[in-house]
Amino acid sequence: MGVITGSTRLLGVIGHPIEHSLSPLMHNAALQAMAQGQGAWTSLESSQSILSHVYLPLAVAPTHLKVAVDGLAALGWVGFNITIPHKQTIVPLLSEVTPLAKAVGAVNTVWRTAQGWTGTNTDVQGFLAPLLTQNRDWSGVEATILGSGGAARAVIVGCAKLGCANIRVIGRDRTKLTQLQASFAGAAVPMAIPIKTSTWDRLSHHLPSTELLVNTTPLGLSPHSENTPLTDEQIQQLPPTALVYDLIYTPDPTRLMQQAQAWGLDSLSGLEMLIQQGAAALEIWLQDPPPVAVMRQAAQAFLR
Ligand code: NAP
């Protein structure tokens, strides 16, 4: 176990609710390993290392967000993650937002500067990390994204960064799809991304040309793990080289991933995205790469 001293600095995650968050587990495992790696022993008998940072879960109701964020500044916190429902509402409370977070339209990582709080979004980096280890050129491929909510926005920016030729979002609400499309178009946006949109009844039409299929809906999320966004017949419409990427990580594999595997397709779960977005945040705060393997091991052990 690590030891908290007067010099231990504070990190955390703000959400409401926050009990489900895996971030405290992953981050504290990494901080512990980093402290041990630095060999700062408090006593030879206890073999305990001094923690330079700890990471705490903070349940903050929407009405208390501003006072909480002001309080963290007064208390000298280094930074924090932001999760549902605060990813958009945090923005006016920040002195600076990175162009990437502006493009996504949401902030998940905040750090303190002399001017105040700066926010960015590490979900894009998290989404991209497992794709970039695939030894495959994603530029020019067609990506189909199921769902049009918050996670879909990070996936759209990620697909644009990969250079995907066609980025199509499948949603159930035409008005929301039109608004989403508009929010990525025009000169005023930090990153103009031409996306196409379709409703679910048109999905089968697009599957034969889809090389990257990303599920950003909660269909298949535990405890409703019998659910899946695609029928077996639809899975079989995908080309044999297609990759099926489910952002859900409980269960792992999801029913969608099992369908893909049964048809001989490659698949990815959302666990690596979760780990890598966390690792990217930790690197911002510590200015040092964290032990990603330790974070992965902690998350996998907990989920098992
Ligand atoms: P969100 O903002 O609520 O968006 C969910 C999207 O799914 C919406 O477009 C919604 O459509 C659609 N949807 C919901 N139920 C549906 C159904 N029965 N049929 C068709 N579409 C449906 O949620 P989010 O924050 O984007 O998160 C979505 C999923 O991604 C969650 O399962 C979450 O756990 C996962 N996620 C994973 C990571 C990771 O690190 N791996 C990160 C973020 C999110 P409407 O707009 O029409 O309601």
Of 179, 177, 157, 160, nearest to 169 by C-alpha is 177
**Mean pLDDT confidence for 111-140:** 96
Q: Identify the pLDDT of residue 42.
A: 44
pLDDT tens track for 145-159: 999 999 999 999 999
**Mean pLDDT confidence for 207-216:** 98
pLDDT of residue 39 exceeding 80: no
pLDDT of residue 40 exceeding 50: no
Cis omega (within 30 of 0) for bond into 253: yes
Question: What distance in Å separates the CA atoms of residue 207 and residue 187, rounded to the nearest whole number?
Answer: 31
C-alpha distances (whole Å) from 119 to each of 16, 133, 239, 284 are 19, 27, 39, 11
Residue nearest to atom 30 of ligand 1 (CA): 216
pLDDT tens track for 233-262: 999 999 999 999 999 999 999 999 999 999
Question: What distance in Å separates the CA atoms of residue 260 and residue 110, rounded to the nearest whole number?
Answer: 37
| 171 alpha carbon – ligand 1 mean position (Å) | 10
Atom index in ligand 1 nearest the CA of residue 172 equals 47
Ligand 1 contact via 108 beta carbon (within 6 Å): no
Annotated binding residues, written as ranges, equal 21-23, 83, 108, 123, 147-151, 247, 249, 270, 277
Q: Identify the pLDDT of residue 48.
A: 77
Q: What's the CA angle centered on 251, arms 199 and 149, to 5 degrees?
A: 30
pTM: predicted TM-score of the whole model, two decimal places: 0.94
| 151 alpha carbon – ligand 1 mean position (Å) | 7
Active-site positions read 87
| 113 alpha carbon – ligand 1 mean position (Å) | 33
Ligand 1 contact via 173 beta carbon (within 6 Å): yes
| 228 alpha carbon – ligand 1 mean position (Å) | 13
Residues 241-265: b if buried by 16+ CB within 10 A, e if exposed: ebbbbbbbbbbbbbbbbbbbeebeb
Ligand 1 contact via 106 beta carbon (within 6 Å): no
Count how many Cα atoms sit within 13 Å of the Cα of residue 132 in the half-sphere of its side chain.
14
Annotated binding residues for NADP(+), written as ranges, equal 147-151, 247, 270
Mutate to test the pocket of ligand 1, among 21, 89, 122, 172 (most ligand atoms within 8 A of CB): 172
Binning pLDDT at 50, 70 and 90, where does residue 43 land? very low
Ligand 1 contact via 215 beta carbon (within 6 Å): no
pLDDT of residue 45 exceeding 90: no
pLDDT of residue 140 exceeding 80: yes
Binning pLDDT at 50, 70 and 90, where does residue 186 land? confident
Report residue 28 as tokens: 């504290």
Ligand 1 contact via 20 beta carbon (within 6 Å): no
Q: Identify the pLDDT of residue 47.
A: 65
| 262 alpha carbon – ligand 1 mean position (Å) | 24
Atom index in ligand 1 nearest the CA of residue 249 equals 41
Binning pLDDT at 50, 70 and 90, where does residue 188 land? confident
Q: Identify the pLDDT of residue 46.
A: 57
Q: Identify the pLDDT of residue 41.
A: 44
C-alpha distances (whole Å) from 239 to each of 39, 148, 210, 216, 243 are 51, 23, 7, 20, 9
pLDDT of residue 164 exceeding 50: yes
Annotated binding residues for shikimate, written as ranges, equal 21-23, 83, 108, 123, 249, 277
**Mean pLDDT confidence for 281-298:** 97
**Mean pLDDT confidence for 70-98:** 96
